[in-house]
Amino acid sequence: MFTFQIVANFFADKMPIPIDEEGKVSMKLTDWAEANEVSAVNAHDA
């Protein structure tokens, strides 16, 4: 997750940052996957 945050900070125009219903940056991996068109079909909770 930390890697996504670093990449998003330097390449914000290339990696969409998911925003939740409250207008805050979402920290859920499924939201990051969806915002960046990555499949989260087999995702699991750690």
pLDDT of the residue at 20: 92
pLDDT of the residue at 23: 93
Whole-number Å distance between alpha carbons of 35 and 20:
11
> Is 32 buried (19+), middle (13-18) or exposed (0-12) by CB count in 10 A?
buried
Where does the pLDDT of residue 46 fall: very low under 50, low under 70, confident under 90, or very high at 90 and above?
Answer: low
Residues 11-45: pLDDT tens digits? 878 888 889 999 998 888 888 888 888 887 876 66
- Is 26 in contact with 18 (CB distance < 8 Å)? yes
Whole-number Å distance between alpha carbons of 15 and 34:
11
pLDDT of the residue at 32: 85
- Is 14 in contact with 4 (CB distance < 8 Å)? no
